[in-house]
Amino acid sequence: MIVVTGGAGFIGSNLVHTLNVIGERDILVVDNLAPAPNLSGPKFLNLAGAVYSDYLDKREFRAAVQAGHFANTEIRAILHQGACSNTLEDDGRYMMDNNFTYSKELLHFAQKKSIPFVYASTAAVYGASSNFRPEPANERPLNVYGFSKLVFDNYVRRLMPELGSTVVGLRYFNVYGPREQHKGRMSSVLHHFTKQLLDTGTIRMFEGSGGYADGEQRRDFVFVNDLARINMFFAGLLSESPLSPVHAVLNAGTGEARTFKDVAQALMTVHRPGEIQFIPFPGDLKHRYQHFTQADVAGLRKAGYTAPFTGLEQGVRETFAPQPGA
């Protein structure tokens, strides 16, 4: 069995579908399908067409792990995507329980049973830093979401000398792709731009900010299917996966920043021509916004992952191609 937490969410559901592509069917999907104010649609639709053997609510799963119900279950890998990823969430107690305590529980469970454990971290740990090497001097989160992820990364780092089976944290940069329609305001800029373009013929983006001209803010946009493959690589699920355990906190991005104007142009090529309108920078994002991100992928390459990343234009085309089960 392979466990995918957050398996009905954006990244988790794409991971389940990608596992199906390589022939994996014995998958336990774990998620929380309760209504949430930041969601714009139901997550379960992301699993349409996917094949998996079981589903558990996150609370049931945590309780089952604590109670030892998986003691006799053969688990090949845990791909931990479950988290509160709302960067505007200010409830620190909820965020820490969901993103830190839950992750600690699974880490120790995985170590006890010698299960490869690959988990989702985030580039939000870097905050306003312009240096994206995974080193403490560069880690200055701007919100409690980034803080909660950094606390767990540091917990893993402290335990590394005594870790046995694989533990890899992947700091996701600006992820985009299919199956994110439910995320509301937290959807990628590609999702928002597409809706604007199709509804009005105009894409709205921020005026210059953070030292960048209008629409020239830059992000490392990474295609979700690339992240799925990185997860599977370190979890030991691919023929080219490492033969020995890996213990690392790594950046998961392309290493190439692209402008928001580049994104708009790629979308107009796929959908329809349109105009760009620049709008004032919103006040509630002033101290929470990363104007530039670009992964330093030296650690990822050193750890053995050498596959190329999907380029922005190709990724946009694949994002809006018909999806299996859609």
Distances (CA, A) of 261 to 11, 204, 205: 25, 10, 9
| Regions of the chain with pLDDT less than 50 | 325-326
- Give the CA angle between residues 54, 169, 238 to the nearest 5°: 60
93, two tokens: 């107690």
Kindly provide the residue ranges of all beta strands, DSSP E only, lying in the chain, ordered along the sequence: 2-5, 27-31, 54-57, 77-80, 117-122, 167-172, 174-176, 202-206, 218-219, 221-223, 247-252, 258-259, 275-279
Give which of 169, 48, 161 is closest to 99, Cα–Cα: 169
Which residue of the set 43, 52, 149, 183 is catalytic?
A: 183
Neighbour-count burial of 75, counting CB atoms closer than 10 A to its CB (0-12 exposed, 13-18 middle, 19+ buried): middle
Task: Assign 46 to helix, strand or coil.
Answer: helix
For residue 248, the model assigns a pLDDT of: 98
In whole angstroms, give the CA distance from residue 44 to residue 13.
Answer: 9
Give which of 150, 32, 27 is closest to 78, Cα–Cα: 27
Which residue of the set 119, 145, 172, 289 is catalytic?
A: 145
Length of the chain, in residues: 326
Asked if 212 is an active-site residue, the reply is: no
**Is the domain covering 2-178+222-255+293-310 a CATH 3.40.50.720 domain?**
yes
In whole angstroms, give the CA distance from residue 236 to residue 222.
Answer: 22
Task: Assign 98 to helix, strand or coil.
Answer: helix
Asked if 149 is an active-site residue, the reply is: no
pTM for the full model?
0.93
Task: Assign 10 to helix, strand or coil.
Answer: helix
Neighbour-count burial of 217, counting CB atoms closer than 10 A to its CB (0-12 exposed, 13-18 middle, 19+ buried): buried
For residue 40, the model assigns a pLDDT of: 67
For residue 88, the model assigns a pLDDT of: 60
Token look-up 């995974």 returns: 134
The full set of domain ranges for the chain reads 2-178+222-255+293-310
Give which of 238, 265, 252, 266 is closest to 294, Cα–Cα: 252
For residue 9, the model assigns a pLDDT of: 95
